[in-house]
Amino acid sequence: MAFEGVQDYGGTLGLPTSAMVDKNGLLWIVDSLKGFVIYDKNNNGLTRFEEYGSAEGQLFFPR
């Protein structure tokens, strides 16, 4: 099963580096260029944290 493809291949992820499933069954994908994407058990995207930058409240190459 695929969630999102890499941007150069038609998806919206830039540089995915890791993923984990939390205790609630939510899938967190960390993308060094795009931030975090969270999916529920039915593969629905719940939220994204994707404000890229080095200012307070922004993400800069999360891993």
Phi/psi at 8 (nearest 5 deg)?
-65, -10
Over the stretch 9-27, which tens digit does the pLDDT of each residue have? 666 777 888 899 999 999 9
The reported pLDDT for the residue numbered 24 is 95
pTM of the predicted structure, to 2 decimals: 0.67
**How many domains is the chain partitioned into structurally?**
1
Tell me the DSSP string of 12-56: SBS-EEEEEE-TTS-EEEEETTTEEEEE-TTS-EEEEE--BSSST
| Residue 29 domain flag | yes
Q: What's the start-to-end Cα distance of the chain, in Å?
A: 23
Asked, for residue 20, whether it belongs to a domain, the answer is: yes
With respect to residue 33, please indicate whether it lies within any of the assigned structural domains.
yes
Report, as an integer, the average pLDDT of 46-50: 81
Which structural domain range is residue 39 located in? 7-49
Q: Which pLDDT belongs to residue 27?
A: 92
Q: Is residue 1 part of a domain?
A: no
Check whether 35 has a pLDDT greater than 70: yes
Q: What is the pLDDT of residue 1?
A: 39
Q: Considering the domain boundaries, does residue 55 fall inside one?
A: no
Let me know if residue 25 belongs to a domain.
yes
Q: State the pLDDT at residue 6.
A: 60
